[in-house]
Structure 1
Amino acid sequence: MRVERLGKDKIKIFLTLDDLSDRGIKKEDLWTDVPKVHDLFNEIMEEAYEELGFELSGPVAVEIFALPAQGMVVIVSKGKEQIWADEETDEDLFALEVTLEESDSIIFAFKDFEDLIEAAKRVNSYLMYGGELYFYKGHYILVFDQMDVLDKNVDDFIALLSEYGEVSPISKAVLEEYGKVVVKEDAVKILINHFS
């Protein structure tokens, strides 16, 4: 489990499939097994408090992004929802609004262009189709469809990308609307041809 602060009132937690299986949770449980998910959320919040001093009170919005062959990203934001604004709330309690999304896309963000190029070189042999490249909020973001990875080597493919970048919870729809398209098709092969 990796926890990082995104702002004063927002954190991001990345849970690998191993983190989930260690807790006896499958990705499908997120949609069906409420007690297990509740226990997982409490554990996440304890770790966030220990590592970052992030404490819950009042309204909380939780976005859970299930990522193929990787695990999930949980974004927790506190104190932003207006639906509780007029209600009195106990300081020790928190209201919870959860959004669950599952994606067949593999999306990785790279802060450094050189890391992007190195990742492209390493994963090229795993691809039938080279994905798309966007620029969004200071990051280069590669987007792949799981079906583009040859011979179902998705785990190895993701492991290689993880050496150079990090899983991005940003959806392809957000990138298409707000990001800048750098290379729309076959991005990996184009990067290699121009920068190797």
Structure 2
Amino acid sequence: MDIERINENTVKFYISYIDIEKRGFSRDEIWFNRDKSEELFWEMMDEINDESDFEVEGPLWIQVHAMEKGLEVTVTRAEINRDGKKLESPFEVDEKGQYFSNMSESSSDERSFDEFTGPFTDSNELQNEFTFQVSDFEDLIPLAKRVKLPSYVATSLFAYKERYYLYVKADDELMDEEEVKNMISMISEYTAKSSITVHRLEEYGKEIMADEVFEQIQKYFS
């Protein structure tokens, strides 16, 4: 994957179909399967952050050009005005690219894609699944000593590409907005948020702990 940093808020990258397939995705999946296309996109954004220090902060404008041998994608962090409203897209209306999914000619779903930055989506629907990453397992030990999660919050731990990934799933019927925010805030003090989905971790990673991650870490490593 070739990465070009355009400016402070914009990055452009090119990925070939061969590279996409090496990552475990097919062309049909990135065209027509939204979950798979988003998984591929956020995996690439993780790499871009590592290589060019382009952090995802707030909503994004995404322009995709389908080329003969791959995809050229331009990602721009949307600017927010003083009223907290998102400014217009930096792309012209007739140039605005679609997101990977639903990219057939008959699709009317041309849009920008807004990445959530907290436990709620734009529709205020509570998000209940999160993934965090650390480079060293020992980074989880002080977190395990501090955090006390209720029984209706499930946790699991994976090893993938020389990193450890903590997957957290809360019962959104038993937790309110404030509880979720507090939980995420505490975990984020010791880890970094990751966009890798649990499905990819289950398929390509190695499961280290299937449940009660913090309890097991306290039991065996405290």
Q: TM-score by structure 2 length?
A: 0.48
User: Counterpart in 2 of 1:31?
Assistant: none
| Equivalent residues in 2 for 1:43-82, closer than 5 Å | 49-51=6-8, 54-55=11-12, 63=38
The answer as to 2:194 corresponding to 1:160 is: no
The answer as to 2:180 corresponding to 1:186 is: no
Gaps of 5+ in 2: 17-29, 31-36, 43-56, 73-90, 101-112, 116-120, 122-126
Change in Cα spacing, 1:135 to 1:73, as seen in structure 2 (3 Å) is: farther
User: Counterpart in 1 of 2:67?
Assistant: 84
Q: How many residues align?
A: 138
The answer to which structure has the higher helix fraction is 1
SS of residue matched to 1:50: coil
User: Counterpart in 2 of 1:126?
Assistant: 149
Deviation at 1:95, TM superposition (A): 6.8
User: Counterpart in 1 of 2:107?
Assistant: none
| Equivalent residues in 2 for 1:2-81, closer than 5 Å | 8-9=2-3, 49-51=6-8, 54-55=11-12, 63=38
User: Counterpart in 1 of 2:167?
Assistant: 143
SS of residue matched to 2:211: coil
Q: Is the 8 A contact 1:9 1:77 kept in 2?
A: no
Q: Is the 8 A contact 1:116 1:140 kept in 2?
A: no
Distance in 2, Cα, partners of 1:141 & 1:193: 19
Q: Is the 8 A contact 1:126 1:150 kept in 2?
A: no
Aligned residue type for 2:144: A
Gaps of 5+ in 1: 1-6, 11-47, 66-70
Change in Cα spacing, 1:133 to 1:56, as seen in structure 2 (3 Å) is: closer
Change in Cα spacing, 1:134 to 1:73, as seen in structure 2 (3 Å) is: farther
Identity of aligned residues (%): 26
Distance in 2, Cα, partners of 1:95 & 1:85: 19
